[in-house]
Structure 1
């Protein structure tokens, strides 16, 4: 290194003020960053508004499908109300089926069913199955990748089977029948199935709900079915059909809850983006005004010196 270069470096080190960036340059850099951030937030606001409109359209269709699907659940309830069990409910082997979906951006709707399942398996208070003692080792099957990821971390030993790519659009009875068929052929032994899904309360509210569907053995041993002579496969076919009905009712109601939650989430995101745009715009205008004022001061100072 030459002697002149060494002297220049020593001078810079001895006088740190030489490294200070002029205030005008700092303001210009900050203004540029604010401008880019404003542009980014405006684009996000457009996306969230579009997603809110799409979710609003899908919610109307989902509500109509939910009303039709509830008829399946009502039919199941009438059958099970007339087939009371003789054995204590605590001795029943229960299979938990958690109904969620593969999509996100809809708030904590998937977490609600996952938390309800964990509370039920741990026999904690405030569960959809209050008053019923649950075996902590009960098998769990999950419909949807979102709850699958959550329960894989929390209850990895309980998971037996998972399903995805179901309910991308409005769920159909064929989807529910396919799930019920795979559950029956999975080899997991159970006396009853507990469906955990979200119950549609209103367009802005939902809550986790658990619905129990009896298996073939429980139906066969119930008081109501013992009064009649039936073929051996009757209760088995009825149990499979009832399970498909219950899964379909849970899928369509959960889908309606998901669309409602997504619309509300996108609405809140749009409002937050608007608030952020207002704040950034004010900050940008203040910085721009300060930069112009500094430049005017420099011009006036230079003119006075001349």
Structure 2
């Protein structure tokens, strides 16, 4: 009697337990698939970190050489400021970033500083790099005069900087001062956005500091063009080093997050697998007891 009474209950519970086992196996397969995907991502980010670390050494070497010329540029323009404090120059802002991603918020920092400076002192705009161009063209499309792309895929060269300077001279519109906004390399783990000013040949000729020097020929035009190319080159090289550093940091953080996720998924997978094995053992034991 007792065995007959218990058989209907066992038979009705069997489909439910079977459905639970199937659901558990499906969940395990999903976890296993996601675990495999995260492991592949971790391998990629780890490889990209190694590549960025290798490139950073070259970028730092090029940056140290370029900063010597940038310091000479700064000396020229610090002693060639306009005499009248009420003088309001026509300003062209030049935002320098790159086309590459996966490097944190390094492009957004340039865009934010450009927006902040243009809100205080309006002017026209030129952009190097597709990332900052996409951000700034949405915010101020009417101010954008010229843009450049495919610059800085490798360590930037003075030839690239000279080509950018020539294009700005031709199609950048009228300006008395160019304010170059770029990322400045502080260390292997930090950077900040700064602004450097370069004045035009006309403004250079009108400054009292420049006129103190006796020159047989007017070299202000050549000096202004060379100084602009030099300042752009310094900003490109230093920005490239900051970008490689930021990409290495971003890939390191991504790898660490992937490792944490792998540990969490592995624990969840082990628990689910143990639960499925336990349910199967219960079914075997229950079936044996019923028989």
TM-score by length of 2: 0.92
Please list every run of at least 4 consecutive aligned residues from structure 1 whose deviation after the TM superposition is greater than 2 angstroms.
18-21, 87-90, 224-232
Instruction: Report the counterpart of residue 15 of structure 1 in structure 2.
Output: none
Cα distance in 1 for residues equivalent to 2:271 and 2:216:
83
Q: Tell me the CA shift for residue 31 of structure 1.
A: 0.3
For 2:243 and 2:178, how far apart are their aligned partners in 1? 23
Query: Matched residues in 1 for 2:87 and 2:206: separation?
Result: 16
Q: How many positions carry a matched residue from both structures?
A: 276
The verdict on how the C-alpha distance between 1:204 and 1:89 changes in structure 2, with shifts beyond 3 A counting, is farther
- After superposition, the CA RMSD in angstroms is 1.5
- How do 1:23-102 and structure 2 match up within 5 A? 23-88=20-85, 91-102=88-99
Q: SS state of the match for residue 140, structure 1?
A: strand
Q: SS of 2:81's equivalent?
A: coil
Please give the TM-score of this superposition, normalised by the length of structure 1: 0.87
Q: Structure 1, residues 222-273: CA drift from partner, whole Å, max 9, x if none?
A: 10232334434x1111100000000000000000000000000000000000
SS in 1 for 2:154: coil
Residue of structure 2 in register with 1:104 after alignment: 101
Question: Gaps spanning 5+ residues in structure 1: where?
Answer: 1-17, 124-133
Answering whether residue 276 of structure 2 is matched by residue 276 of structure 1, we say no
5+ long unaligned stretches in structure 2: 1-14
Higher alpha-carbon deviation: 41-50 or 81-90: 81-90
CA contact (8 A) 2:146 2:172 kept: no
- Given the alignment, which residue of 99, 104, 117 partners 1:120? 117
Equivalent-residue separation in structure 2 for 1:196 and 1:54 (angstroms): 27
Q: 1:84: Cα distance to partner?
A: 2.8
1:192-271 to 2 correspondences below 5 Å: 192-227=177-212, 228-232=214-218, 234-271=219-256
Residues 120 and 187 of structure 1: is their aligned pair in 2 closer, same or farther, counting only changes over 3 Å?
closer
1-structure distance, mates of 2:16, 2:164: 68
